[in-house]
């Protein structure tokens, strides 16, 4: 193996550790850094897109992922909630970010506060099913995400057909998105305008297992 390839592998390995994709100590479960960086990246993207659309007075095309109004639960809290209850690997969040980019390009739409939550719950669920050894059923994921099982089923099928079922992610692509998130960590800043929406439950516990959470948006 060439020296440059070894150096590249070392850099990628360091980034994986920094993002929390590789644990240096077993038995410790805490929120990996990738969650914070992904939420920051998405929040900035949403803010940038909405400011641009407001300035140009261009309206984005509506899809079944769009709500009438955005949830009160911030992107960061929603991602933390998903990680807490999904029990999926941190790598799922990197893969989900790749899936979302593919979907946006195929559909030719922008990421906004109206669609980001539904895109997140759908893409992270698909990533968990595709790369993790164990996963839950859609009814469970729907309760965590604050949507009905029927709606999540529709979102899943629409997402898959829109990206032509392209769920495979190469090592090179995965590494590139990890680097993008690591770069976000160096540029991150607090978003002054929080992303808000209506209808997602702020908390969820085992007591809710037999009841469905309210929908993400009306």
Say if residues 35 and 184 touch (Cβ distance below 8 Å).
no
**pLDDT score of 2:** 40
86-138 pLDDT, tens digit per residue, is 999 999 999 999 999 999 999 999 999 999 999 999 999 999 999 999 999 99
The alpha carbon of 33 is separated from its chain's Cα centroid by a whole number of angstroms, namely 14
* Nearest Cα residue to 37 out of 217, 185, 218: 185
- Locus of tokens 């933390």: 80
Task: Give the Å distances, CA to CA, from 202 to 145, 163, 196, 205, 216.
Answer: 11, 31, 12, 11, 11
35-52 pLDDT, tens digit per residue, is 999 999 999 999 999 999
Residue 141: which pLDDT band, with cuts at 50, 70 and 90?
very high
Say if residues 171 and 8 touch (Cβ distance below 8 Å).
no
Residue 59: which pLDDT band, with cuts at 50, 70 and 90?
confident
147-195 pLDDT, tens digit per residue, is 999 999 999 999 999 999 999 999 999 999 999 999 887 765 444 345 4
Q: How do the domains of the chain map onto residue ranges?
A: 30-188
- Locus of tokens 């920094």: 18
The alpha carbon of 191 is separated from its chain's Cα centroid by a whole number of angstroms, namely 18
Tokens in use for 36?
Answer: 């914070």
CATH topology of domain 30-188: Cyclin A; domain 1 (1.10.472)
* Nearest Cα residue to 127 out of 92, 94, 159, 101: 92
Contacts of 209 (CB under 8 A, 6+ apart): 143
**Size of the chain, expressed as the number of residues it contains:** 218
* Nearest Cα residue to 139 out of 122, 124, 152, 154: 152
Contacts of 104 (CB under 8 A, 6+ apart): 110, 111
* Nearest Cα residue to 214 out of 151, 116, 143: 143
**pLDDT score of 215:** 42
């Amino acid at each position: 193996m060439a020296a440059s390839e070894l150096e590249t592998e070392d850099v990628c390995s360091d980034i994986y550790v920094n993002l929390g994709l590789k644990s240096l100590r077993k038995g410790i479960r805490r929120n990996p850094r990738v969650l914070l960086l992904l939420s920051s990246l998405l929040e900035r993207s949403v803010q940038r897109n909405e400011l641009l659309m407001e300035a140009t007075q261009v309206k984005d095309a509506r899809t079944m992922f769009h709500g009438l109004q955005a949830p009160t639960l911030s992107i960061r809290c929603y991602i933390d909630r998903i990680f807490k209850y999904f029990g999926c690997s941190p790598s799922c969040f990197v893969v989900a970010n790749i899936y979302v980019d593919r979907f946006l390009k195929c559909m030719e739409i922008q990421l906004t506060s109206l669609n980001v939550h539904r895109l997140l719950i759908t893409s992270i669920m698909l990533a968990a099913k595709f790369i993790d050894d164990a996963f839950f059923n859609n009814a469970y994921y729907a309760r965590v995400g604050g949507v009905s099982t029927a709606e999540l089923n529709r979102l899943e099928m629409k997402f898959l057909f829109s990206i032509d079922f392209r769920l495979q992610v190469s090592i090179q692509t995965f590494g590139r998105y990890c680097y993008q998130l690591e770069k976000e960590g160096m540029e991150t800043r607090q978003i002054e305008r929080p992303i808000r929406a209506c209808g997602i439950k702020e908390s969820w516990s085992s007591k809710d297992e037999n009841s469905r959470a309210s929908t993400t948006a009306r």
